[in-house]
Amino acid sequence: MELLDLLRTIFERVRTDADFISFTDVLIENNVSYYIYFVATGNVNFVMSSDTFVSLKSNRKLLRVNSQSCRALTRDAARRHFSGITTFDIYCAELANAGVFKWVVDLNEKTRHYWSKDNTLLHMENMILPF
């Protein structure tokens, strides 16, 4: 399977079954160092250990990202999603409402960072134990 097809398949799977551990294991096995998820578009850039990247375009409708960011809403949206309360689509909508422009998952450091449009760090969490 081509890398882009594999990334598309596992990303769609994690959106529905929320098995983030298996998702990250497959990414690491395929030399992904980190990835950037853009909330407004749903597009993802996977950055490989060789410093090349693979872009995954989304077919999802655009979300309007609030220009006013809120750290508390960002943290709460992440906690609700990773505790299984909200679906991936609701998680994205809540993050857009909280002013999150993108999140970055660093697979080496095992962290997730949420960033605003003006590149302010809104929240950082451990990707294995997010709360």
The H or E element spanning position 36 is strand 32-38
In whole numbers, what is the pLDDT of the chain averaged over residues? Answer: 91
**113-124 pLDDT, tens digit each:** 999 999 999 999
Q: Cα–Cα distance between 112 and 110 in angstroms, integer?
A: 7
Tokens (6 digits) for 11: 């990303």
pLDDT score of 15: 74
Rounded to two decimals, what is the model's pTM?
0.90
The DSSP letter of residue 31 is T
**Residue 101 three-state SS:** strand
Sheet holding 100-106, edge to edge: 53-56, 44-48, 32-38, 100-106, 111-116, 121-126
Percent of the chain at pLDDT > 70 equals 95
Query: What pLDDT shows up at residue 22?
Result: 83
The better pLDDT of the pair 105, 16 is held by 105
CATH number, domain 3-126: 3.30.1810.10
96 falls in which pLDDT band (50, 70, 90)? very high
Does 131 have pLDDT greater than 60?
no
pLDDT tens column, 12-63: 887 777 677 888 888 999 999 999 999 999 999 999 999 999 999 998 899 9
